[in-house]
Structure 1
Amino acid sequence: LSDIQKKGELIILTENSSTSYFNYRGKTMGFEYEILKDFAASLNLKLKVKVVSDSKKFNQMINEKKGDIIACNYTITKNRSNLLSFSKPYLKEKLVLVQRKLKISPKDSSNVIFIRDLSELNNQTIYVRMHSSYKKRIENLEEELGIDIKVKELSGDPVTEDYIQAVSQGKIDFTISEENIAKIVSFDNINLDINTPISLPMSIAFALRQNNPVLLDSLDNWLSSYMKTKKYKSLVNKYYVKRNLGPSLETKKITDGQLSIYDDLFKISANTHGVDWLLVSSVAFQETRFQPNAIGLGGAYSIMQFMPNTGPSYGVYPDSPVNVQIDGGTKMIKTLLNRYKNIPLESDRIKFALAAYNAGFGHIDDAMKLAGKYDLDPYKWDDNVKVMFENLTKPEFYRDPATKCGAYRGHAVRYAEDVYERYINWKNESK
């Protein structure tokens, strides 16, 4: 620990995932990242992050002193404990089977087929990382149940949530995950079932070199206190509890007489900044269903969901009145439309701006660079930048030297197209 304090920085080894470390609307986030950021601050240290592109190298890198702590949702296993020291567990999660909900009848969505009896996995194929603890659990299941399970892995060393997405997309039928990771991915993939446990709760902890007892004791003592705080509980809620904003996204029609009680404010601001008020309204509806006091992921606030590091740039703060919130959101949309003014087709220009509003323009810029690199048109949305944006979930693309912002596993494509479609519908209804 004294060597770390002399350097003035704590180095963590992690991966780009929705539990550990990621970029959301220009803000660095991640459950484990935020915990260790607070730990580093308690020691008056800066937190330095090293993203490891090959998950098989974590143990090697920590033992070569290229990092101080491994933070990647590590479960404590016997094999790992022979090589590493583990902190006090900060979560306990069971492993679950991830599968798609298969309807028995298209007319009856209530009846679905799941594997609940694990013996039914006999002769099935489960995709997992070969060097993961999941592989060992499958071997134990085979021994316990007297069954044979085929095990394969996806190419490119994708992270666990990429395997889960592959199940949702129908590319594979089964994978295994800790329940906390599966829960995050299932929030936005309602065709997934994660309710078949395949283990007892397992301890998830930070991993350190075995010859670093002072740092381990310091971390354990700090975690013992930290996990009793409101801050820790708020982090658990922030990442693992799904928010329900209420009404369906398709319930509002302009023919109802008004979209919201704030229609006049949207019209005034849109007229001032030269943006269609229906476009701004569609963004606000998608973000918060017109709720000025909504709080979102990463501390996003206001009817337009500004991130804490972005809102002040547009004059919007958590206590700003709704007219200021709307005006700031309108200015931001106008700024993004201007950013993509060289996009020839107006519908594409709007979709670029909307995707950037949701994901941050860094990921859009990455997708445009990849489009150019792979002989696609970086100034067209459909079949071009949209394709590369969706490819940012794949390691071979988000680890490409042309990219700067890493993986993107959000839903900016769907967001942009939903907001745009609603905007066009409202526009047609108003004629």
Structure 2
Amino acid sequence: MALLVSVILSVTACSRPTTLQEVLNEGVLHVITREAPSIYYEGREGETGYDYELAKRFAEELGVELRIRVADDNTEILSVLSRDYAHIGMAGLSGQAGIDDLYRVLPTGIAAQSVVVYNREHGRPGSLKDLTGQTLHLVPDSNHEHHLDTEDNYQWQVHPGIDAAGILARVESGEFAYAVVSSNELELNQVFYPHVKEAFALGDPEELAWLFPKAQDKTLITAANQFLQKLQADGTLAQLSERFYGHLDQLNYVGARTFMHHVQNRLPNYEHLFQSYAKDAGMDWRLLAAIGYQESHWRPNAVSPTGVRGLMMLTRNTASYIGINNRMDAEESIEGGSKYFQMVHDKIPARIPEPDRTWFALASYNVGFGHLEDARRLTEGAGKDPDRWMDVKEFLPLLAQKEWYKKTRFGYARGHEPVLYVQNIRRYYDVLARITDRPPARPEPVSEIVNLEGTPPDTTPANQKVVPDDIQASLPSDLGLIPPTL
């Protein structure tokens, strides 16, 4: 609350309560947004998303309740803000011309640009001039239209009722040949649409922003700006950016198709085992499944040149230590992997909050606790935070360089491998979470948003994978799915 004192004192002489005072008096911060993985969505553990996490922290700073209203699209968000029916709008828009004339704009730390995408079966356009006679498809009230020129020989069509994922699904299926989406939404959804490729960007990256009604005075946006500056100074903005965007480049076209194929054809054979043993270990079954996929692509007979074996690729010593007799038995391997991961997780200092504690545990699972501690000491010695994964992952690769590992207790390690290992598993986990999450309609808000431990067991039947319609529509027919009618 300290950052608000100057704002409050400057307006207490006013006869009518300021916007900030109204928020404090009511005890509620009203925010309108739309569902998108880049902004806000509801998963198994509750509400999350980059913008949501910022708004949640801002409400906590003010000492008020955060009350979210979910709109159908940006058109509704802008309409509500124009009528001053919400304090903040989170729409994934930048402050381009037209927006900043109608609303107060506060950048939030994520930059994105409008990108032209196409189905890989079509030729790649190099510029808008190559789209003569073609139609670009886009969502309404976006960042994109101000980049388009009515004098060029192409057209564009706006699709009310369709979000960015819906646009991408239609490009994937071939219904749309070309479209324009935001680069951050493409990154978050790319794995589900492997036939969609980026052609070129329209303009430079623009920082995405929160929108405030022009009818408000400046007290609330000033307080929000001061709060975001504080988060930027203490590294929280960078940490949230890494959490939501720092692992999104880990699946290329072939990897995405292969993973989705294995989700449909291999995972159902083992899902009930992941669920059962993850529950015993107090962890999210999808995280355990993601580890198993990274280790063996869910192959129970996998063998590496170094002698690790089975679906969870356990070493002989590890299997013996945790009481696993047959590493090639899928159930024993999954049981052993869950036990071993929990042991590793328990060694990570409890003061490290989730999800970073889990990322550290994954790195330790891969490279060993001693090497992880060496990297954390190097991180601390460089003046960075040894309890933040985003800092430590910069120093792990240095364990392969003599000038660095000679300073450590445990010496040489191929430190780039745990970084890739963690990033891959995070991506696999994200995908599994997206295609298995089925929260109840409008659940009550929860206080703890990210918690990979102690997740309630999934109730989906073991051999039934529920895939959202927009994702299912994008998958090639050779993956055994029947796309719904679009």
TM-score band by shorter chain is 0.5 to 0.7
Whether 1:224 and 2:229 are equivalent positions in the alignment is yes
In the TM superposition, what are the counterparts of 1:214-363 in structure 2 within 5 Å? 214-242=219-247, 244=250, 250=297, 252-254=299-301, 256=303, 258-259=309-310, 260-261=314-315, 262-263=318-319, 276-277=331-332, 301=358, 358=433, 363=438
Compared with structure 1, are the counterparts of its residues 297 and 19 closer, same or farther at alpha carbon in structure 2 (3 Å cutoff)?
farther
Shift of 1:235: 0.9
Conserved 8 A contact 1:127-1:154: yes
Match for residue 125 of structure 1 among 128, 135, 139: 135
Aligned to 2:50: 31
Structure 1 residue corresponding to 2:203, chosen from 190, 193, 199: 199
After superposition, the Cα gap between the structure-2 partners of 1:150 and 1:24, relative to the gap in structure 1 and judged at 3 Å, is same
Looking at structure 1, the residues matched to 103 and 59 of structure 2 have their Cα atoms a distance apart, in angstroms, of: 21
Q: Which residue of 2 aligns with 1:66?
A: 85
Q: For residue 170 of structure 1, what is the aligned residue in structure 2?
A: 174
State the percentage of identical aligned residues.
13
Query: Aligned equivalents of 2:474 and 2:61: distance in 1?
Result: 31
Distance 2:206 2:430 in 1: 38
Q: How many pairs align?
A: 317
String of CA shifts for 1:131-166, please: whole Å, max 9, x gaps: 43323322x2x43xxx322323446x1222331233
Counterpart contact for 2:435–2:468, Cα < 8 Å: no
CA–CA distance in structure 1, aligned partners of residues 432 and 125 of structure 2 = 40
Following superposition, the deviation at residue 11 of structure 1 comes to 1.4
Task: Give TM-score, length-normalised by structure 2.
Answer: 0.54
Find the aligned partners of 2:142 and 2:35 in 1 and give their Cα distance: 17
The change in CA–CA distance for 1:380 and 1:218 in structure 2 (over 3 A counts) is closer
Distance (Å, rounded) in 2 between the aligned partners of 1:267 and 1:252? 21
SS of match in other structure, 1:206:
strand
Match of 2:468 in 1: 390
Paired residue type of 1:221: Q
- Gap change, CA 1:97 and 1:300, over 3 Å in 2: farther
8 Å Cα contact 1:359-1:410 kept in structure 2: no
Q: Distance in 2 between matches of 1:51 and 1:117?
A: 36
Counterpart residue number, 1:81: 100
Q: Partners of 2:299 and 2:437 in 1: how far apart? A: 32
Tell me which of 134, 157, 172 is aligned to 2:144.
134
Matches of 2:324 and 2:41, distance apart in 1: 36
The corresponding residue for 1:17 is 36
Secondary structure at the aligned position of 2:144 is classed as helix
Residues 283-308 of structure 1 deviation map (CA, whole Å, 9 limit, x = unaligned): 999xx9x9869999955838999xxx
Q: Deviations over 1:195-215 (max 9, x none)?
A: 511112223110001132111
Residue type at the aligned position of 2:116: L
Q: Please give the alpha-carbon distance, in whole angstroms, between the structure 2 residues aligned to 1:93 and 1:379.
A: 36
Aligned to 1:186: 190
Deviations 1:298-356 (A, max 9, x none): 55838999xxxxxxxxxxxxx9xxxxxxxxxxxxxxxxxxxxxxxxxxxxxxxxxx999
C-alpha distance in 2 between matches for 1:4 and 1:269: 61
Specify the SS of the correspondent of 1:6: helix
User: Please, what TM-score do these two structures have when normalized by structure 1?
Assistant: 0.60
What is the CA-CA distance between 1:102 and the residue it aligns to? 3.8
SS in 1 for 2:98: helix
Partners of 2:112 and 2:93 lie apart in 1 by 11
One-letter code aligned to 1:200: D
2:156 is the alignment partner of 1:151: yes
Seen in structure 2, the aligned counterparts of structure 1 residues 251 and 195 have a Cα distance that, compared at 3 Å, is farther
2:125 matches 1:115: yes
Change (3 A) 1:241 1:134: same
Instruction: Identify if the C-alpha distance between structure 1 residues 170 and 39 changes in structure 2 by more than 3 Å, giving closer, same or farther.
Output: same
State the AA in 1 paired with 2:136: I
Contact 1:128 1:152 in 2 (8 A): yes
Alpha carbons of 1:53 and 1:304: their partners in 2 closer, same or farther (altered >3 Å)?
A: farther
Distance 1:227 1:304, change over 3 A: closer
Amino acid at match of 2:468: E
Aligned residues of 2:74 and 2:91 also touching (Cα < 8 A): no
Alpha carbons 2:43, 2:437 under 8 Å: kept: no
1:164–1:8 Cα change, 3 Å: same
| Correspondence for 1:96 among 108, 111, 115 | 115
- Give secondary structure in 1 for the equivalent of 2:200: strand
By how many angstroms is 1:358 displaced? Answer: 4.1
Which residue identity does 2:179 align to in structure 1?
T
CA drift of 1:193 comes to 2.2
Equivalence for 1:422: none
CA-atom RMSD in angstroms:
4.6
Aligned partner of 2:358: which letter? Y
Whether the 8 Å CA contact 1:89–1:206 is kept in 2: the answer is yes
- Residues 175 and 218 of structure 1: is their aligned pair in 2 closer, same or farther, counting only changes over 3 Å? same
> 1:379 and 1:206, CA in 2 relative to 1: closer, same or farther beyond 3 A?
closer
Distance 1:379 1:14 in 2: 29
